[in-house]
Structure 1
Amino acid sequence: MTHSRFDVAILGSGIAGSVLGAILAKNGASVLLVDGGVHPRFAVGESTTLYTLNMFRVLAERYGVPELANFLTTDACYEHIGPTFGTKRNFGFMIHREGEEPDPREVNQFSPPSLKLQTSHLHRQDSDTYLFHTAIKYGCVARQGLRVTGVNLGDDEVEITGQGGERFTARYLVDASGFRSPLATQLGLRAEPSALKHHSRSLFTHMLDVRPTDECLDMPQSEMPPIPWEQGTMHHLIERGWFWIIPFNNDPRSKNPLVSVGLTFDERVYPKPSDMTPEEEFHHHVSRYPVLERIFADAKTVRPWVSTDRIQYTSTKTVGHRWCLMSHAAGFIDPLYSRGLTNTGEVINSLAWRLLEALQEDDFSQERFAYIDELQSGLIKYNDEMVNCSFISFSDYELWNAVCRVWAAAEIPINLRFERFLDRYQASGDDNVFREMEKAPYPGSFVPDNAAYQELFAEMVRLCEAVDRSERDATEAGRELMKLVQESEAVLPFIGLDERDHRFIYPQPPSLMKLFGWLGTEGPEEMRYLATLPGGGHFPPGAPR
């Protein structure tokens, strides 16, 4: 039996636990990382966004962990982590109807602009191991293959017990383990399923010989997007569900032949069958859609399928005296918009400085960490409503086309917001810049400081839920929502989001010149700072960050 004492014990050494552990250890804390599994290991959640990368950029600079910056471009991933990642140049969405070829007028592609960042498809076996090793490099003590059998939350310390009777004490406990959180289980923190609106279950694995979507379409070249579908994360949308295709083999430098594939669909519409294996069920649904049937005609499974029940869960609270449930230990909705890593980064960014100060001041009161609970509650709420509206809209392109623009309307403002605050931090070196960033009126929202976006989002929820209750026609609701998109001050002009038939959003320098010129001088007052340089000037035309 061993007994060791640490400042912080973290349950789970995935991305959440390893990044937080590395940050805390780099900044002087003694950290224990406990995990029932062993790296390298399979994980999904492989698609990054510009928002994800901006979060990693902030964490790298704010907390002095430069290894996190190696995720900011595909080039850096290949140089520093490994040749197993895919490139991601777009979000691709395509509506499918049973027995029919997709209508080329019912597709959408979104490629948010950035000169500094390149999104990618993470091969999680390698990305997670890299981050785990980074945490150890900075001084974390790791115990892999250790199942936690008990947690004792005392007034002055926390004690965790592993199989075999090993005991460890810490001044604070962070549970970043996931759905089977030991702390959530012991304290009975899981909320009732009715607390969430969205419903889905999932089937997923990795495969070989998945044909690129572009090769399988019966569409004229004039209807194809500016970026090949296979150069991004592909979302094949069906009634109340979607197939994902995330290739790791779409970059010529990649030595990884695998493709992540999965199906996430409403368990109320598609109850789990008792007479099929997960693989049989997957191919059963694939066979209903001609393009998908061609994509997977020669595909070979390389690892056991995972078949889940309903994947949505949340918690009644996520912080207490000397403990925190973080990221996927706190809750989960759906991978539709690749927000898992982004949400994780947001929580780490707000938790780490509070925890470092708590260690210095020996004050672990629940009040100190109250914002973390509010933030995680908001992240779950807004993602739940966004994904629920999306699933409702998949059956009608007019509605989906408007819903996806509400989602996309947040992408440029939120990333500019991070860049402006980072500019201020780099100019001043003052950590209060990031603390001020938290003082937004809508924590967890896709654009937390924008009232106009909140109004548009609320109207989307109202219309989609009326459709779901059969109180509104989906097509008419879609037209009404599209009109609201066109009228909203939250939707930036000149890039096509406010144009119903502009299906491929791929902003180029001329439109960005117009956007930044307008944003700095004529845009809504609350958004003008997004085009402001550290010295107080505005970006010159054609020079977006």
Structure 2
Amino acid sequence: MMAAAKVTETDVVVIGGGPGGSTVSTVLADRGLKVELFERDLYPRFHIGESLIPETYWVFKRIGMLDKMKKSAFVKKYSVQFVNSQGKESAPFYFHDNKPHECSQTWQVIRSDFDTMMLDNAREHGVNVHQPARVLEVLFEGERAVGVKVQQDGETREVRAKAVVDASGQSTMLQNRLKLRKWDPILNKGAIWTYWRGAYRDTGRDEGATVVIQTPDKKGWFWYIPQHDGTMSVGVVAPFDDLFKGRGSHEQVYNEEVERCPAVKRRIEGAERATGYFATKDYSYRSSKAAGDGWVMVGDAYGFLDPLYSSGVLLALKSGELAGDAIADGIAAGDTSGEKLGAWSENFNKGVDRMRRLVCEYYDGFSFGRFIKKFPQYRNMITDLLIGDLFDDRVDEIWAPLESTYVEGKHEIPKWNDEPPEVIRDNKVNELFLPEGELR
């Protein structure tokens, strides 16, 4: 007769130790709850999403990461700059000029190092981290999540909890199980990237800038991100079909895109490639709800927007912080209903929608330079959006003047939860193709 699986109890189970999982677990531990975090991978592990934006400062400060970031070797980032399809560079958007506070300086991070720091910080705050440990399933009694079944060191056991947090990233464990995913009707991009040693680097205040370089055909863009190990992260983002349908290997497509983009080609001229080529399907999606009875989603497990403007880590941190407080409040009140645990999501979604609109406007031809020239009084508000100040209704003032620049025939941008056009999308999201050769 097979022995019953071992059963233990805790206050909260967190699935995944990325930025969202580390943040929510740290907030919960700081509020006096017992937290068990299960991460399937051993760290350090490779991840993309290297450029932070300034509003991450406030979450870092709350969870005890700020001093660690200040003492790190990560490149300091003070601005973002845009290069149009003709190679014309915008004036840099300096964050400090808009908000003269130390929060206006952020970092370019190597995610393997950064994610390890975040998870170690959670441990220091009292989170019980299990690694590597694979969550096999979330356990439900009726509609309520009551724990997880986990496999670690060859043993399978159940961990019962008052709340379960899905921070499983692009695995989207609960979103898949509960069939909650809503594809974005228009954002359907892919990316190919690699790392260069000896590529051009700005100096002084501009040394750590993220540069966004539009492709000559205006269908896509390159990111150009300096890293503290001497490499430059350079990737191209474009409609999925344009990158991956019938064009050959990732190396071939990447090199063709570089050849077509002089602003990138001259920056990496004479540089040596430091890694293989990476690629990902950046399907954009969001769950139709953030929480249910006994469960919450945060970070990429809840939704993925787009790499433009580097909002991913901020949204993971912010959702983790907000969900952590909602869970702690709910447990204290004896109410772990979906309504209580997801009370934060309405305002959060409004912030994501603001960033999404800025992303969609860029893909639809929006020019920062032309807009600021016509409306110089809105330069600071544009910068507010770029730094991640997304959760304040005051920034909505910008949309009317932006719409006044539309050319005749431009259509309204569909909302994220509109029904998508007839495209075939499987359930794989942001599938990462690792390169041959040495990983970073």
TM-score (ref. length: structure 2): 0.80
Normalized per residue, which structure has more strand?
2
In the aligned structure 1, how far is the partner of 2:377 from the partner of 2:178? 40
Distance 1:458 1:40, change over 3 A: farther
CA distance in structure 1 between the partners assigned to 2:287 and 2:116 by the alignment: 28
Q: 2:249 — aligned with what? A: 277
1:172, distance to aligned residue in structure 2 (A) = 0.4
- For residues 392 and 134 of structure 1, do their structure 2 counterparts lie closer, same or farther at Cα, with a shift above 3 Å needed? same
SS of 1:134's partner is helix
CA distance in 2: counterparts of 1:347 and 1:171, whole angstroms: 19
Deviations along 1:321-348, whole A, 9 cap, x unmatched? 0111112111111122122222233323
- Aligned partner of 2:415 in structure 1 is none
- SS of equivalent to 2:123: helix
The structure that has the greater radius of gyration is: 1
CA distance in structure 1 between the aligned counterparts of 2:53 and 2:377, rounded to whole angstroms: 16
CA distance in 2, matches of 1:3, 1:133: 26
Q: Write the distance in 1 (CA, Å) between the matches of 2:172 and 2:189.
A: 20
Amino acid at match of 2:259: S
| In structure 1, C-alpha distance between the alignment counterparts of 2:10 and 2:376, rounded to whole Å | 46
**Could you give the per-residue CA deviations for residues 249-284 of structure 1, whole angstroms, max 9, x where no partner exists?**
4xxxxxx2222221112235x241434222221111
Paired amino acid for 1:360: A
CA distance in structure 2 between the aligned counterparts of 1:94 and 1:11, rounded to whole angstroms: 39
Could you say which residue in structure 2 is the equivalent of 1:188?
179
Would you say the 8 A contact 1:347–1:375 is kept in 2?
no
User: What one-letter code is carried by the residue in structure 2 that aligns with 1:348?
Assistant: G
Equivalent residue, structure 1, for 2:398: 456
CA distance in 2: counterparts of 1:38 and 1:404, whole angstroms:
49
The question of 1:12 aligning with 2:6 is answered no
Which among 288, 296, 307 is matched to residue 279 of structure 2?
A: 307
SS in 1 for 2:305: coil
Deviation at 1:174, TM superposition (A): 0.8
> What is the CA-CA distance between 1:47 and the residue it aligns to?
1.9
Map of 2:359 onto structure 1: 387
Provide closer, same or farther for how the CA distance between residues 461 and 316 of structure 1 changes in structure 2, counting only shifts above 3 A.
farther
> How far did residue 86 of structure 1 move?
1.0
Counterpart check, 1:357 vs 2:354: no
On the 8 A contact 2:187/2:283 being kept in 1, the answer is: no
Flag the 1:170–1:465 CA change in 2: closer, same or farther, 3 A: farther
1:90 and 1:396 map into 2 onto residues whose CA distance is 14
Deviation, 1:404, is: 11
Matched, 1:86 2:75: yes
> How far off its partner does 1:361 sit?
2.7
**Secondary structure of 1:393's aligned partner:** coil
Is 1:151 aligned with 2:138?
Answer: yes
Greater RCO (Cα-Cα under 8 Å, separation 6 or more) = 2
Instruction: Indicate yes or no: 2:111 matched with 1:124.
Output: yes
2:224 aligned to which of 227, 230, 245: 245
| Alpha-carbon separation, structure 2, partners of 1:306 and 1:405 | 41
Residue of structure 2 in register with 1:319 after alignment: 291
Find the aligned partners of 2:358 and 2:409 in 1 and give their Cα distance.
Answer: 15
Q: CA deviation at 1:150?
A: 1.6
Q: CA shift at 1:312, angstroms?
A: 0.8
Structure having the higher helix fraction is 1
Q: Which runs of 5+ in 1 are unaligned?
A: 215-226, 250-255, 416-443, 471-545
Runs of 4+ in 1 over 6 A off after TM superposition: 400-405
> What secondary structure sits across from 1:265 in the alignment?
strand
CA contact (8 A) 1:201 1:310 kept: yes
Q: Which residue of 2 aligns with 1:77?
A: 71
C-alpha distance 7-375 of structure 1, shift in aligned 2 (>3 A): same
Change (3 A) 1:464 1:169: farther
TM-score normalised by structure 1 residue count: 0.66
Q: Deviations over 1:481-502 (max 9, x none)?
A: xxxxxxxxxxxxxxxxxxxxxx
Aligned partner of 1:108 in structure 2 is 91
Tell me if the contact between 2:189 and 2:240 (Cα under 8 Å) persists in the aligned partners. Answer: yes
Report how far residue 116 of structure 1 moved.
2.5
**1:187-218 CA distance string (max 9 Å, x none):** 11111442xx433221233332222268xxxx
Does the 8 Å contact 1:200/1:267 carry over to 2? yes
Give a deviation string over 1:279-333, Cα, whole Å, max 9, x none: 2211110111223112223344444433122431111111110111112111111
Match of 2:420 in 1: none
Q: Is the 8 A contact 1:390 1:403 kept in 2?
A: no
Contact persistence 1:243–1:263 (CA under 8 A): yes
Which residue of 2 is the match for residue 96 of structure 1?
85
Cα pair 1:389 1:464 within 8 Å, conserved: no
Task: Give per-residue Cα distances to partners, 1:82-112, cap 9 Å, x unaligned.
Answer: x3x1121211111133xxxx23xx5231102
What percent of counterpart residues are identical?
Answer: 23
Deviation at 1:405, TM superposition (A): 8.5
Q: CA deviation at 1:390?
A: 1.0
* Per-residue deviation, 1:383: 1.9
Taking the aligned partners of 2:254 and 2:47, their CA distance within structure 1 comes to 19
Give the direction of change, closer, same or farther, for the CA distance of 1:93–1:228 in structure 2 (3 Å limit): farther
CA change 1:144–1:288 in 2 (3 A) is same
Give the count of matched residue pairs: 398
Are 1:208 and 1:258, in contact at CA under 8 Å, matched by a contact in 2? Answer: yes
Q: Distance in 2 between matches of 1:258 and 1:404?
A: 36
Q: Which among 20, 24, 28 is matched to residue 28 of structure 2?
A: 24
Q: Which residue of 2 aligns with 1:169?
A: 160
